[in-house]
């Protein structure tokens, strides 16, 4: 079932400036350009709710969207974007880390990976770190319209094998496309089922 209303609330530079943590919150993270903002627009049935760009580094703040007046969807900046200064990288990393560690109403973090590529060390390291912090996650393999089903399954298996070293029970993995709306129903239902919305 679709979510019926979506509204932008605020962009924050710091978790302390985020809206009151009185609602279930689902955040989206992953490398720059992986398709976080596009996926959020797909889930929200909105073309331009979250700003997207073909150039990496578009989302630079913590963006809250209020969904069905009941829960928050959060668009985060990407990690691993090489074309920013070390200082800026440190700043972003601090902002994201603080948010992930301190946001008490964060129900689940979706970690997005590009389905066209085998898992990259930066993604595996990030997933290991969030796991160690006890942050609940699910994984989404994005841009599935750009590659054959077979290749996606191969990359998914490589990811599972890499994660098995750290995880006893693997996180749920979804396959999505903001282009043809693959995964939309599954991800929406998962959000509902994990929060009783
Ligand atoms: P940052 O905010 O820079 O970290 O990027 P992001 O992860 O939010 O990515 P964004 O949604 O802005 O998408 C990056 C580019 O990939 C844009 O040109 C999108 O149109 C394209 N894109 C995103 N998702 C898909 C998809 O599922 N299929 C295809 N074909 N293109 C996609
Ligand atoms: Mg973005």
Ligand 2 midpoint to CA 53 (Å): 7
* Strand pairing category for 62-67 and 71-75: antiparallel
pTM recorded for the entire structure? 0.95
Candidate from 76-80, 99-103, 131-135, 173-177 with smallest mean pLDDT: 76-80
- 5-63 pLDDT tens trace: 999 999 999 999 999 999 999 999 999 899 999 999 999 999 899 888 888 777 889 99
Domains of the chain: 6-195 (3.40.50.300)
Average pLDDT taken over every residue of the chain: 93
Under a CB-based contact definition with an 8 Å cutoff, are residues 121 and 163 in contact? no
CA dihedral over 89, 115, 157, 190, signed as positive or negative: positive
DSSP-derived 3-state class of residue 174: strand
Atom 31, ligand 1: which residue's CA is nearest? 143
pLDDT at residue 82, rounded to an integer:
64
> What is the tally of helices (H) and strands (E) in the chain?
5, 7
182 CA closest ligand 1 atom index: 27
Query: Best of 110, 178, 182, 187 to mutate for ligand 1, by most ligand atoms within 8 A of CB?
Result: 178
Under a CB-based contact definition with an 8 Å cutoff, are residues 19 and 9 in contact? yes
- C-beta neighbour count of 188 within 10 angstroms: 19
178 CA closest ligand 1 atom index: 27
């Amino acid at each position: 079932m679709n979510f019926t209303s979506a509204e932008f609330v605020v962009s924050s530079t710091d978790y302390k400036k985020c809206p009151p943590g009185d609602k279930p919150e689902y955040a989206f993270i992953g490398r720059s350009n992986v398709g976080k903002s596009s996926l959020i627009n797909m889930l929200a049935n909105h073309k331009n709710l979250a700003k997207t760009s073909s150039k990496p580094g578009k989302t630079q703040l913590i963006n809250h969207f209020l969904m069905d007046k009941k829960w928050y969807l959060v668009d985060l900046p990407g990690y691993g974007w090489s074309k920013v200064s070390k200082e800026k990288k440190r700043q972003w990393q601090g902002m994201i880390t603080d948010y992930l560690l301190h946001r008490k109403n964060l129900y689940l973090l979706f970690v997005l990976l590009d389905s066209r590529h085998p898992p990259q060390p930066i993604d595996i390291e990030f997933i290991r770190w969030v796991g160690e912090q006890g942050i609940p996650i699910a994984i989404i393999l994005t841009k599935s319209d750009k590659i054959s089903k077979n290749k996606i399954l191969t990359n998914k298996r490589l990811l599972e094998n890499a994660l098995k070293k750290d995880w006893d029970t693997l996180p749920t993995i979804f396959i999505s496309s903001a282009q043809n709306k693959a995964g939309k129903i599954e991800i929406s239902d998962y959000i509902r089922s994990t929060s009783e919305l």
